[in-house]
């Protein structure tokens, strides 16, 4: 009786200390739960005996034992979905999807977790306890009765050495008959929503802190804080810290690496020739060379170089197969293993990057090629990608799979050889297929010895494969494994090598076993759902993929609460897999702060493609903002960039720090804001470039780079032409008449700065070549690949590669810019406006910016490729005639001036003494024009006593005949400008030398041309805006300025698009001169 009383008393005491909630770090008290079970809801199932919860503790196999674990380390692995199935329930783990089942039907048979086949083996009756001490709790009873027809109950195993421990087995037993035994079969079932649906950065930070708290301790011998001793093992622990720093910029990783490395050198020295194992040296070399690349300390590189060189020389002596000897320890022989060839190859690649010495790449390639072509690697078939440990051992280890993967990636990134890419893909697929179960890594399974630290090596190279090759389909591997590792941590946050299993509370293993899960989390490719980033949304600066030198830190006033800080000259941050889409970007916005460390000093941000020295996307000069807390947002133009790309931001300054950096995002290009492009000559197969930056802006096609000097922006003008603006000079490209050179040296757009981009083939869907024609002399740009490769405007036809170009984005994609005349519109539509000044050839006339003038007797203009899609019966012309000196006939010819005119148009006075009154009039054709393509000539014959016929704005054809008198639409008389025109009587005197000449340079090369927007070099301006009058015999200073509004549809007197020059733009009177004619037969032409 006393024994029974004591048993009951102990049970009451246990119950009174059982926690109410299911929170971490608390004991669980069994009290009455809410009556009933909600179908499909999530619950925890906690033993009334020892307060431990039924937990799935291993996700790496098809089935797992059903056990209990302490609730201090509870996670979703201890949460179960209860789903009704008749009078019974299926109990299914919310993480694995495995259901609790029986392995037999008699007492003592274990329960486990397995896939549900809907049999009674998976069905459980939940019997509520409605009174007494355990009211509100449940019995869990199998739907299958034992051989004696009795019900079997779920209970905690009774073995004294197991029943109170984490991992105690849950089994079947018949109904308990004693009070002290009864709690083993009683369960508290309480609703508990899932908490660990995804792995987060906060979880990674917490795991890292736990790791640091346990393993980062001072070495009393060396005086350094360190993560542990040994050689190759601690080398790998250190490299995981480098991984974490490189992918997050967090200082905790940097600090633990640097101090542990100092401790390592203090214990092992900086020259490791006394180590007989070449692979040990190779692992430590990786720490050293990567530390140099991340932190810039030369001593790291010196140590890496001398030890790799020694190791390679020693390891290849006497070998003829290209691979490296594993060990020089007595009795080891001279054989090779995968574990030496892998890290040695990767180390050589890093040394090549660090030193710029490609001989290291040559050695890396030699070793790797020999390795992959040996019996140590399966190259083809279903098992392709299997890396053997040794020639006689097919063991597939995580670290050998990892280093082979890393070596293949780095060699592919250097050489671009498809074989290396295929090898990487095969190894990745083989690893996931053979070393995982349900995407969870299952090898290796020990917390001691060499095998306990191999997983962490695989993680860094799997991440590199996913991020560098944009392999988002493997992202779930990291998300699933990190989530499972986190859920399997113990109550202190420590994880074991085999993170697919629950970590014990004692955690007796060293940092070499514990670091594996830290490496997994440090190498997380992204916490987002997708690997690709949206270029047009904020990209947080701290959400980087690779970095050098800087740190990510908490910051006030930032968009995400963090920013990049400690940024010094030469530091960089890289952001991979940014999706710019098919259209691409043309602008960039970023936010920064910059304390005034030096007055008037500026920093520079370079946004580059693919590497720190890759093609230039954009370059920004940043000013001081006063303090680090004073943030400024800046928007700049970019080179056009499309597709999914990797963006590097390189920080530069001559001050101690460059800036703090918050975020950046791009803006999508539009037809009116296309961004900067790269113009490439098909003849030289090189990019057009300002010859010597802003100091010599002559355009030559000599560059193999896509950088600052090669960038040009396309400006679409209102008249259908385009202009090109140089990034480096900030000026427009103009055609210099002396030699027809091009130079990026003018600040406004006039005739010399206008061009037409023409597609020279009609295959609009595929062809992206084009020709460029200068408006100034109507000739095509061309490049002589055998000469100085200057871009000249001298070709009259498109005869081959010399006259063809194509445009590229910064990522090298060929693109046809907006403003190009495509094949379907390369013809002039006869029934749409044809601008009169847009001639293909002419004699005597002058093509002003917005009209055709100087229509003297016998002079003509030609318009090619005019397409008539239907019969034309009349022609409409918009013109102005200053009656005092002009009226006459325009004869219309097709294809040749030697034929009979198809029409004669008599232009009558539109104003007595002004060129600024335009009218639109329809004229009947004497001969209808049938459908077809023709050259159209306009030939001018002034009336007797008159000098000119008139100024022509535009013309177009009509299928309608003329039946009414000529109409005058929207006649406009221009008011004078602020300077009243003079009223001198007409004179026949030729213009004096006061006529503006705008002469092109006569002696210097194209680089000495005075920009058109600068003050004229020869004459003072006659008025403040360009005149639009036809030539007269009066002095040009008597003409009123013409800021006239458009007459009907097209403006007739458009001022320059940006700055108004003080002299008239150069004309196209001849191919070599734009000088106004002041004497002889051409007197009066302006």
Distance CA 541, CA 564 (A): 6
pLDDT for residue 825 = 53
Residue 481: both structure tokens together: 């494994």
Residues of the chain with confidence (pLDDT) below 50: 1-34, 763-765, 823, 964-1086
| E strands present in 869-960 | 872-880, 888-894, 903-907, 918-929, 932-942, 951-958
DSSP β-bridge partners for residue 618: 607
Prior bond to 444 cis, omega within 30? Answer: yes
CB 324 within 8 A of CB 376: no
Integer Cα distance of 243 and 235 in angstroms: 12
Give CA–CA dist 37/27, Å, rounded: 23
CB atoms within 10 A of CB 801: 16
Tokens found for residue 125:
């009756």
Angle at CA of residue 385, ends 382 and 389, nearest 5°: 115
* Residue pair 548/572 in contact by the 8 Å Cβ criterion: yes
List the end-to-end C-alpha distance of the chain, in Å, as a whole number. Answer: 129
The structure tokens listed for 336 are: 């090779």
Contact by Cβ (8 Å): 561, 259: no
The pLDDT assigned to 243 comes to 98
User: Partners of 800 in the beta sheet?
Assistant: none
| Number of alpha carbons in the 13 Å side-chain half-sphere of residue 456 | 33
Cα gap 926→902, rounded to integer Å: 5
CA–CA gap between residue 124 and residue 127 (Å, rounded): 9
Its pTM stands at: 0.75
Sort strands 755-758 and 820-821 into parallel, antiparallel or unpaired.
Answer: parallel
DSSP codes of every residue in 629-667: T--EEEEEEEEEE-SEEEEEEEEEESSS---EEEEEEEE
Structure tokens at 946: 């008159």
- Asked if the domains 274-437 and 533-668 are classified in one and the same CATH topology, the answer is no
Judge whether 480 and 440 are in contact, CB under 8 Å: yes
Contact 836, 953 (CB under 8 A): yes
pLDDT of residue 649: 98
* Tokens coding 452: 């306990």
Say how far apart CA 527 and CA 516 lie, in whole Å: 19
Q: Does domain 828-958 have CATH number 1.10.1740.10?
A: no
Which H or E element spans position 832? none
Q: Residue 177 in 3-state DSSP? A: coil
At 827 the pLDDT is 67
Phi/psi at 876 (5° precision):
-110, 130
3-state helix, strand, coil in the chain (%, to 5): 25, 30, 50
In contact, 954 and 835? CB cutoff 8 Å = yes
Question: Residue 1013: what pLDDT?
Answer: 37
What CA–CA distance (Å, rounded) separates 10 from 844?
A: 118
Residue in this structure with the two tokens 């060379």, named with its chain if needed: 289
pLDDT of residue 361: 99
CATH of 533-668, one of 2.30.30.60, 2.60.120.260, 3.30.70.100, 3.40.190.80: 2.60.120.260
Tokens for 830, please give them. Answer: 């006869």
1013, 1019, 1021, 1022: CA torsion to nearest 10: -150
pLDDT tens profile 472-511: 999 999 999 999 999 999 999 999 999 999 999 999 999 9
Domain 676-825 has CATH 2.80.10.50: yes
Spans of all domains in the chain = 2-191, 274-437, 533-668, 676-825, 828-958
Residue 363: how many CB atoms within 10 A of its CB?
23
Domain 274-437: give its CATH code: 1.50.10.20
Nearest one of 794, 716, 767 to 1006, comparing CA atoms: 794
Q: What angle do CA 820, 826, 828 make, to 5 degrees?
A: 120
Q: Scan for tokens 């008037």, then name that residue.
A: 600
How many residues appear in the chain? 1086
For the record, the structure tokens of 352 come out as 């090549």
- At residue 339, φ and ψ (nearest 5 deg) are -70, -15
Q: Are 306 and 271 in contact (CB under 8 A)?
A: yes
Q: How far is CA 267 from CA 131, 239, 517, 685, in A?
A: 67, 18, 26, 57
Q: Would you say domain 2-191 falls under CATH 2.80.10.50?
A: yes
Kindly report the backbone phi and psi dihedral angles of residue 531, in degrees, each rounded to the nearest multiple of 5, phi listed first: -70, -35
Token pair listed for 659 = 């800036």
Which residues sit opposite 691 in a β-bridge? 693
What is the predicted pLDDT for the residue at 382? 97
């Amino acid at each position: 009786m006393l024994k029974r009383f004591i048993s009951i008393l102990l049970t009451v005491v246990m119950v009174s200390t059982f926690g109410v909630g299911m929170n971490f770090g608390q004991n669980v008290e069994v009290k009455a739960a809410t009556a009933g079970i909600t179908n499909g809801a999530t619950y925890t199932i906690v033993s009334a005996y020892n307060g431990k919860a039924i937990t799935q503790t291993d996700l790496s196999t098809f089935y797992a034992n059903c056990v209990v674990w302490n609730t201090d380390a509870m996670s979703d692995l201890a949460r179960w979905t209860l789903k009704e199935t008749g009078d019974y329930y299926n109990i299914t783990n919310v993480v694995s999807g495995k259901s609790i089942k029986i392995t037999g039907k008699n007492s003592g048979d274990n329960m486990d977790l397995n896939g549900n086949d809907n049999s009674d083996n998976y069905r459980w009756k939940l019997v509520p306890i409605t009174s007494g001490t355990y009211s509100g709790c449940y019995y869990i009873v199998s739907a299958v009765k034992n051989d004696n027809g009795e019900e079997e109950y779920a209970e905690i195993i009774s073995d004294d050495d197991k029943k109170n421990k984490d991992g105690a087995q849950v089994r079947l037993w018949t109904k308990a008959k004693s009070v002290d035994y009864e709690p083993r079969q009683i369960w508290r079932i309480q609703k508990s929503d899932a908490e660990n649906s995804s792995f987060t950065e906060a979880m990674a930070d917490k795991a890292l802190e736990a790791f640091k708290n346990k393993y980062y301790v001072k070495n009393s011998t060396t005086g350094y804080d360190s993560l542990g001793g040994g050689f190759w093992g601690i080398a790998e622990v250190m490299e995981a810290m480098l991984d974490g720093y490189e992918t997050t910029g967090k200082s905790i990783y940097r600090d633990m690496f640097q101090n542990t490395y100092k401790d390592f050198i203090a214990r092992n020295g900086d020259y490791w020739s006394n180590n007989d194992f070449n692979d040990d040296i190779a692992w430590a070399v990786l720490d050293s060379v990567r530390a140099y690349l991340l932190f810039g300390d030369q001593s790291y590189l010196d140590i890496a170089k001398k030890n790799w060189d020694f190791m390679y020389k020693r390891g290849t002596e006497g070998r003829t197969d290209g691979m490296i000897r594993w060990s020089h320890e007595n009795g080891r022989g001279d054989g090779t293993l995968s574990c030496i060839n892998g890290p040695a190859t990767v180390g050589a690649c890093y040394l090549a990057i660090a030193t710029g010495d490609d001989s290291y790449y040559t050695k890396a390639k030699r070793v790797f090629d020999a390795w992959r072509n040996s019996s140590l690697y399966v190259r083809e078939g279903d098992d392709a990608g299997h890396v053997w440990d040794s020639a006689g051992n097919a063991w597939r280890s995580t670290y050998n799979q990892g280093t082979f993967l890393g070596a293949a990636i780095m060699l592919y990134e250097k050489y671009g050889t498809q074989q290396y890419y295929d090898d990487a893909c095969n190894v990745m697929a083989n690893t996931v297929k053979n070393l995982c179960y349900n995407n969870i890594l299952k090898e290796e399974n020990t917390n001691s010895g060499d095998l306990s630290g191999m997983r962490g090596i695989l993680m860094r190279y799997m991440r590199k494969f996913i991020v560098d090759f944009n392999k988002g389909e493997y992202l779930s591997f990291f998300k699933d494994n990190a989530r499972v590792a986190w859920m399997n941590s113990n109550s202190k946050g420590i994880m074991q090598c085999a993170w697919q299993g629950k970590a014990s509370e004692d955690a007796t293993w060293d940092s070499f076993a514990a670091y594996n899960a830290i490496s997994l989390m440090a190498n997380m490719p992204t916490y987002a759902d997708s690997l690709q980033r949206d270029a047009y949304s904020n990209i947080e600066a701290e959400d980087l993929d690779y970095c050098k030198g800087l740190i990510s830190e908490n910051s006030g006033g930032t968009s995400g609460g963090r920013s990049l800080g400690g940024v010094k000259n030469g530091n960089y941050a890289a952001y991979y897999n940014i999706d710019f889409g098919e259209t691409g970007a043309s602008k960039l916005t970023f936010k920064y702060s910059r304390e005034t460390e030096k007055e008037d000093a500026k920093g520079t941000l370079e946004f580059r493609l693919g590497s720190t020295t890759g093609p230039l996307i954009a370059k920004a000069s940043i000013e001081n903002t006063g303090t680090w807390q004073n943030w400024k947002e800046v928007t700049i133009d970019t080179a056009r960039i499309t597709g999914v790309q990797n963006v590097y931001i390189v920080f530069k300054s001559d001050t101690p720090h460059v800036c703090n950096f918050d975020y950046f995002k791009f803006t999508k290009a539009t037809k009116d804001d296309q961004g900067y492009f790269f113009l490439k000559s098909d003849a030289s197969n090189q990019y057009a470039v300002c010859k010597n930056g802003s100091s010599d802006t002559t355009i030559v096609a000599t560059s193999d780079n896509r950088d600052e000097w090669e960038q040009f922006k396309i400006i679409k003008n209102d008249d259908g032409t385009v202009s090109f603006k140089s990034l480096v000079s900030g000026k427009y490209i103009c055609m210099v008449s002396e030699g027809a050179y091009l130079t990026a040296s003018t600040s406004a757009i006039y005739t010399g700065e206008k061009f037409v981009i023409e597609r020279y083939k009609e295959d609009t869907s595929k062809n992206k070549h084009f020709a460029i024609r200068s408006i100034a002399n109507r000739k095509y740009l061309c490049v002589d690949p055998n000469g100085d490769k200057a871009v000249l405007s001298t070709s009259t036809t498109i005869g081959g590669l010399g006259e063809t170009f194509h445009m590229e984005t910064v990522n090298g994609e060929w693109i046809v810019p907006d403003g190009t005349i495509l094949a379907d519109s390369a013809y002039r539509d006869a029934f749409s406006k044809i601008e009169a000044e847009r001639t293909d050839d002419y004699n005597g006339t002058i093509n002003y910016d917005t009209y055709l003038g100087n229509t003297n007797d016998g002079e003509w203009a030609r318009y090619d490729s005019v397409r008539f899609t239907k019969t034309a019966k009349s022609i409409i012309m918009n013109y102005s005639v200053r009656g005092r000196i002009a009226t006459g006939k325009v004869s219309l010819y097709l294809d040749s001036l030697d034929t009979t005119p198809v029409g004669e148009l008599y232009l009558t006075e539109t104003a007595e003494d002004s060129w600024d009154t335009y009218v639109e009039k329809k004229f009947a054709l004497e001969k209808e024009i049938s459908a077809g393509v023709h050259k159209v000539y306009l030939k001018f014959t002034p009336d007797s006593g008159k000098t000119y016929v008139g100024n022509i704005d535009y013309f177009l054809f009509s299928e309608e005949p003329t039946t009414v008198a000529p109409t005058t639409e929207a006649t406009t008389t221009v008011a004078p400008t602020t300077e009243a025109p003079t009223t001198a009587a007409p004179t026949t005197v030729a213009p004096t030398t006061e006529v503006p000449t705008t002469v092109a340079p006569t002696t210097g090369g194209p680089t000495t041309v005075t920009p058109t927007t600068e003050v004229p070099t020869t004459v003072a301006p006659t008025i403040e805006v360009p005149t639009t009058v036809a030539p007269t015999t009066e002095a040009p200073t008597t003409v009123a300025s013409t800021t006239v509004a458009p007459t009907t549809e097209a403006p007739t007197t458009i001022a320059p698009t940006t700055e108004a020059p003080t002299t008239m733009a150069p004309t196209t009177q001849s191919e070599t001169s734009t000088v106004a004619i002041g004497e002889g037969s051409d007197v009066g032409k302006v």
